[in-house]
């Protein structure tokens, strides 16, 4: 029996982490020497001394355990190991450049969140891109997240702005965040031609009581789920989000053949369906249910594209008068900006 009480314990495996020790500056010097053929010319390109280039190459060769160059009177020539390392070195430098650009506001794309690509804010972003084609833009959809999660992403810098219905500005708009209510989206009833309300020129929320309204894909805990729950409670509506969500195309197909089912959709929501569906968009009035879209951003965000977006939104903001409409009690006022 061994006297070493640790002898029977599994020993940790030895991991070769030499790749983690690679110095990017040394890799950059290696690529520069490869492309220029001479240490002196590589040094001039990098803005450092020839001695510094030699030192970096030596450090890289020691780290890899191989010789990368053969030094001759005619310059530096890659060894077989150097030739094998070169494409990976270039990939590493390319990844570094992308990583740096991703976090430098002046160089990375402006990242803006919309719930989906069919609603009013998405149309606004398309108009913004047409007006400012020079601004690199990344429109993301955090559709399954609630407003708190989206606002937290703005706060952390993961995104630059989000279009959301702000439910609790006193809690959500802190730590330098600001918001502005810019688009009130009136809701309409969408039915197929056989529905009992299909011929109506307009309906009131009270007249919708007793008619099943199907809105598949409502995510519990989100602000739009809260909006529809408050709307249903206010007017006694039967709004259901049950059943599998097979997407907008499936919803439109079901409505086209149903004499009982209808749905609610924003006036600014872009929907396209085959002509033979013969769907009807019927205004809802007295009062008009309005979904209050707001833009949320961080006041100290230095991205130059954000200022252009704020100016664009300000010129296009389309809030409705406060009379004759219904919004949830938590809807932000129209003041620009809040917080």
Residue 330, pLDDT above cutoff 80: yes
29-33, 98-102, 279-283, range with the lowest pLDDT: 98-102
Overall residue count recorded for the chain in this entry? 339
Residue 8, pLDDT above cutoff 90: no
The dihedral sign for the CA sequence 175, 176, 181, 185: negative
Percent pLDDT > 90 in the chain is: 55
b/e code 145-178 from CB counts within 10 Å (16+ = b): bbbbebbbbbbeeebbbbbbbbbebeebbeeebb
Domain 20-103: assigned CATH number: 1.10.10.10
The predicted model gives 238-246 an average pLDDT of 86
Residue range 172-229, pLDDT digits in tens: 888 889 999 989 999 999 999 999 999 999 999 999 999 999 999 888 889 999 999 9
For the chain, residues classed under CATH 3.40.190.10 are 110-184+291-320, 185-289
Q: Which CATH superfamily is domain 185-289 in?
A: Periplasmic binding protein-like II (3.40.190.10)
**Taking the model in full, what pTM does it have?**
0.67
Residue 1, pLDDT above cutoff 60: no
Contacts for 94 with CB less than 8 Å, ≥ 6 apart: none
For the chain, residues classed under CATH 1.10.10.10 are 20-103
The predicted model gives 231-255 an average pLDDT of 91
d(CA 296, CA 294): 6
* pLDDT-derived band at 3, boundaries 50, 70, 90: very low
Dihedrals φ, ψ of 88, to 5°? Answer: -70, -35
Name the β-bridge partners of 180. Answer: 295
Residues 314, 319, 320: CA angle, nearest 5 degrees: 155
User: Please, where are the H alpha helices in 132-222?
Assistant: 147-156, 169-172, 205-208
Average pLDDT, the chain: 87
Longest distance between any two alpha carbons in the chain, whole Å: 94
- Evaluate the omega torsion of the peptide bond into residue 136 and state whether it is cis, within 30 degrees of 0: no
pLDDT score of 115: 85
The predicted model gives 310-319 an average pLDDT of 83
Pick the CATH number of 110-184+291-320 from 1.10.150.120, 3.40.190.10, 3.30.1490.70, 2.30.42.10: 3.40.190.10
* pLDDT-derived band at 16, boundaries 50, 70, 90: very low
SS3 296: strand
Residue among 339, 140, 163 at smallest CA distance from 268 = 163
**Residue position matching structure tokens 């059943």:** 243
């Amino acid at each position: 029996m061994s006297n070493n009480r640790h002898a029977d314990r599994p020993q940790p495996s030895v991991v070769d982490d030499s790749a983690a020790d690679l110095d990017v500056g040394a890799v950059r010097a290696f690529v520069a020497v490869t492309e220029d053929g001479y240490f002196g010319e590589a040094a001039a390109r990098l803005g450092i001394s020839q001695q510094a280039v030699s030192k970096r190459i030596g450090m890289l060769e020691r780290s890899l355990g191989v010789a990368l160059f053969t030094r001759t009177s005619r310059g530096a020539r890659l060894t077989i190991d150097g030739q094998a390392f070169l494409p990976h070195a270039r990939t590493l430098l390319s990844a570094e450049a992308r990583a740096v650009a991703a976090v430098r506001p002046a160089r990375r794309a402006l990242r803006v969140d919309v719930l989906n690509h069919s609603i009013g804010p998405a149309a606004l972003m398309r108009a913004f891109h047409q007006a400012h084609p020079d601004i690199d833009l990344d429109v993301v959809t955090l559709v399954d997240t609630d407003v708190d999660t989206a606002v937290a992403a703005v706060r952390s810098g993961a995104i630059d702005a989000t279009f959301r219905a702000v439910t609790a500005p006193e809690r959500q708009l802190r730590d330098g965040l600001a918001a502005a209510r810019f688009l009130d989206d009136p809701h309409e009833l969408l039915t197929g031609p056989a529905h009992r309300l299909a011929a109506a020129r307009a309906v009131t929320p009270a007249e919708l009581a007793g008619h099943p309204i199907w809105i598949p894909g409502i995510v519990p805990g989100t602000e739009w789920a809260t909006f529809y729950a408050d709307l249903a409670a206010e007017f006694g509506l039967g709004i259901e989000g049950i059943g599998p969500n097979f997407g907008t195309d499936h919803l439109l197909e079901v409505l086209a053949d149903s004499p009982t089912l209808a749905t609610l959709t924003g006036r600014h929501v872009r929907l396209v369906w085959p002509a033979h569906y013969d769907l009807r968009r019927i205004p809802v009035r007295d009062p008009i249910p309005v979904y209050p879209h707001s833009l949320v951003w961080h006041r100290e965000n230095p991205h130059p594209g954000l200022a252009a977006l704020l100016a664009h939104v300000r010129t296009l903001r389309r809030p409705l008068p406060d009379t004759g409409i219904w919004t949830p009690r938590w809807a932000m006022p129209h003041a620009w900006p809040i917080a």
